[in-house]
Amino acid sequence: MEQDNREILAKRYERIKLIVSLSESVISFALIFLFLVSGYSVSLRDWVQGIAQNRYLQFLLFMAIAGAGISAITFPLNFYSGFYLEHRFQLSNQTLWAWFKEKFKEWLVGLIILLPLSLAFYFLLLNYPDTWWFWLSIVLFLFSVLLGRIAPQVIFPLFYKFEPIDDDELIARMEKLAKKGNFRLQGVYRFDMSKNTKKANAAFTGLGKSKRIIIGDTLLENYSVDEIETVFAHEVGHFVHKHIQKLLFIGTIQTFAGFYLVHIIYRLLLQQMGFGAPSDLAALPLITLILSLYMLIVSPITNGISRYFERQADRYALRNSAKPEAFPRALLKLSEQNLTDKEPHPLVEFLFHSHPSVKKRVKTAEEWLNEK
C-alpha cells in the first residue's frame, strides 16, 4: 500500500515537473519570438546604441536587458519547480533563503562562464560574418574541454563540500573494482548532497587528471555496502567505456552542425525580415530561436545515445560487482527515494530521458542474474 502510494506520488511529481519545464521552454520561445516580431528588439537596439558608443558594450547591454526580461517572466516557474514542488513532495532540505543563495551562486557562476563566451561570439559575428559558426564551434569545444577539466576542482566545491570516503570495508571493495577498471581510487569523493535534498545520487565527472566519482552522503548513509558497490561499479563503467570523452566528441559534432545550420537559416531570414548585417543586434534573438529549434530536434538523439551508455554502465556493474544481485535492489531503492517514475510513457522516455526507465533497467539486471 505504502509502495503503491509512493508510485502514484512519483508519477504525479514527474508529470508536474515535465509540464513545468515544457511550459518554461514554450514561454521563453514565445517571448523571444514576440520580442523579435513586435519591433521591440529594434527599439532596444536603437536605445542601447543611443547610450553606448562601444559595440561590445551595446551588445552586452542588449543581451542583459533582453535576458533579464525573459528571466523575470519565467522566474515564478523556476521557483515553483525548484523550491515549492520539492517541498510539496517532501524532497527538499532547503530553506527559502538557502535556495535563493544557491540560485544566486548558480547565476553568478553562469555569468562568469557566459560572459567571455558571448563576447567571443559577438567578436566572431562582427569580424567573420561568413565563418563565425566554424570558429565559434572551435571556441566552444576548447571551452568544454577546459570546463570538464576544472569543474570538479573549481566549480563543484562552490556548491558542495567534498571529502574522501572513510568507510574501510567500502574502500576495500571499491579498491578491488577500481583496480579491475584501471581507475585511481584517490578520485572517489563523498559530497554533502543532504544539505539541499533528500534525494540520493552518484556521478562520474571530470576530464584528464580531474576525473572522479562523486557519491552523495544521502546514498552512503542509507544503502548497504553491497548496494553502494554496485552503484560505484556503474560509475566505473562510465569511466571504462570513456563515456565523457565520447559525449564531448558527439557534442562537438552537434555544435558544428548546429551553428552551420543556424548560419544558413539566419542568412536567409535576415534579408527577408529586413535586418542589416548578421551582427545587427536587433536580429540576434533570431539566432536563439533557430538554435532552440535545432536543440529540440537533436536532444532526443543525445538522450538515445545517453541511454545506450547507461545500459553499458549497467552491464559493467553487473559483471564486476561482488554481489550483482544488489544492483536491481539499489536501483529500486533509489527510484523510491528520488520519486522517479519507474515506468514513464515510452514517448516521454524517448524524448526527454537520459536514462532508461527503472523498470527496464531492473528487468535487464534480473534477466542477467537469472542467466548467470
CB nearer to Zn ion: give 229 or 310: 310
| Least distance to Zn ion, CB of residue 310, Å | 5
CB nearer to Zn ion: give 48 or 313: 313
| Least distance to Zn ion, CB of residue 172, Å | 23
CB nearer to Zn ion: give 227 or 310: 310
| Least distance to Zn ion, CB of residue 206, Å | 15
CB nearer to Zn ion: give 204 or 259: 204
| Least distance to Zn ion, CB of residue 47, Å | 48
| Least distance to Zn ion, CB of residue 268, Å | 40
The site string for Zn ion over 302-321 (x = CB under 5 A, - otherwise) reads --------x--x--------
Which 254-313 residues touch Zn ion, going by CB under 5 A? 310, 313
The site string for Zn ion over 221-250 (x = CB under 5 A, - otherwise) reads ------------------------------
CB nearer to Zn ion: give 171 or 247: 247
Closest CA relative to residue 262, chosen from 121, 82, 74: 121
CB nearer to Zn ion: give 281 or 334: 334
| Least distance to Zn ion, CB of residue 217, Å | 19
CB nearer to Zn ion: give 310 or 341: 310
Q: How far is CA 102 from CA 79, 95, 158, 196, 295, in A?
A: 12, 11, 10, 9, 27
| Least distance to Zn ion, CB of residue 201, Å | 10
Residue ranges in contact with Zn ion by CB under 5 A: 310, 313
